[in-house]
């Protein structure tokens, strides 16, 4: 990606190296049961409130607040890359919202190591990247990208950008009211229906990531040859069927919460090809 000359975001909180990786400042220990629960949220976007609420109940009520943190400018290349990509998502979604007569309020990105507190609860880096609607922040421990490249064989800078753009997609869902509508519907739904709604949420966030890639390429020529392929590889690597096959050797479609590898790739490509929000209606009948 051609990112080095890009604008850096003013919405980055670089918390790395600020006093250790314990969650909530209490050195929380995560047992096997907690890790099983967290595995449901490990890859890209399961609402962390669903997992962290259980964590807090079993860990003695860890702190859940996430107060104001001074914005900082990362000095390492990995942090600077995240800052530039976040800034580019800000430019893309500001333009799209403005065209609809609305104002885009960007999320904040918190980079951390080991563990952190969020408005959704205390989180270990085992949760993976996530968006918290309660404080409108994206949380990423950059060690996740080593896992993505090495264990899940999805390397590359655009693969990393896709992850961030997906989480920003959840922020767009929060701003537009989609998140709240889905959460209300899930409260009235069966377990299978809750999972199906979550899948549609995740696939729409993938489509929104594709929209960002479309505008980043068309307006700012950020992409290079092979970048989209990196994004598709990442989308496949975090498909529910891919993860289930790796973890247990078989696939249980009714338990999907993010979508299959093929679905995630398809919706990312839809957003990338069209660049328009109207083509990201994953909730329409028959749209999966």
The whole-number average pLDDT for the span 166-190 is 96
Residue 21 is predicted with a pLDDT of 46
Residue 126 is predicted with a pLDDT of 86
Helix, strand, or coil (residue 132): strand
Strand-pair category, 12-14 with 108-111: parallel
More confidently predicted of 22 and 238: 238
Give the whole-angstrom CA distance, residue 117 versus residue 138. Answer: 12
| Phi-psi sector, 60: left (phi>0), alpha (psi -120 to 50), beta | left
pTM over cut 0.75? yes
- Which band of pLDDT confidence, cut at 50, 70 and 90, is reported for residue 54? very low
Residue 22 is predicted with a pLDDT of 43
* C-alpha distance from residue 272 to each of 5, 195, 209, 224, 227 (Å): 23, 25, 8, 14, 12
Q: In this predicted model, what pLDDT tens digit does every residue of 64-102 receive, in sequence order?
A: 444 566 677 898 999 999 999 999 999 999 999 999 999
Q: Which two tokens stand for residue 267?
A: 């919706």
Residue 65 is predicted with a pLDDT of 43
Q: What is the mean pLDDT of the chain?
A: 84
- Which band of pLDDT confidence, cut at 50, 70 and 90, is reported for residue 269? very high
* C-alpha distance from residue 254 to each of 33, 192, 196 (Å): 22, 6, 8
């Amino acid at each position: 990606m051609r990112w080095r000359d890009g604008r850096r975001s003013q919405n980055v909180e670089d918390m790395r190296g600020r006093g250790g990786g314990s969650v909530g400042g209490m050195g929380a220990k995560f047992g096997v049961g907690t890790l099983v629960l967290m595995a449901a949220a490990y890859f890209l976007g399961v609402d962390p409130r669903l997992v962290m609420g259980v964590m807090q109940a079993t860990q003695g009520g860890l702190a859940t607040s996430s107060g104001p943190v001074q914005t900082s400018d990362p000095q390492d290349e990995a942090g600077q890359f995240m800052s530039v990509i976040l800034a580019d998502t800000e430019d893309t979604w500001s333009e799209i919202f403005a065209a609809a007569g609305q104002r885009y309020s960007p999320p904040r990105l918190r980079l951390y190591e080991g563990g952190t507190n969020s408005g959704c609860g205390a989180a270990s880096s085992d949760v993976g990247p996530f968006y918290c609607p309660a404080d409108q922040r994206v949380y990423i421990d950059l060690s996740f990208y080593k896992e993505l490249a090495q264990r899940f064989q999805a390397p590359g800078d655009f693969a990393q950008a896709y992850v961030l753009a997906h989480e920003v997609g959840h922020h767009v869902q929060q701003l537009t009211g989609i998140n709240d509508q889905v959460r209300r519907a899930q409260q009235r739904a069966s377990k299978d229906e809750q999972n199906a709604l979550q899948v549609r949420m995740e696939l729409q966030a993938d489509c929104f990531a594709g929209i960002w890639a479309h505008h980043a390429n068309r307006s700012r020529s950020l992409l290079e040859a092979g970048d989209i392929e990196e994004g598709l590889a990442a989308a496949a690597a975090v498909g529910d069927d891919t993860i289930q096959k790796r973890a247990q050797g078989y696939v249980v479609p009714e338990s999907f919460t993010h979508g299959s590898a093929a679905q995630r790739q398809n919706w990312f490509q839809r957003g990338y090809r069209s660049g328009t929000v109207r083509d990201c209606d994953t909730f329409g009948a028959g749209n999966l």
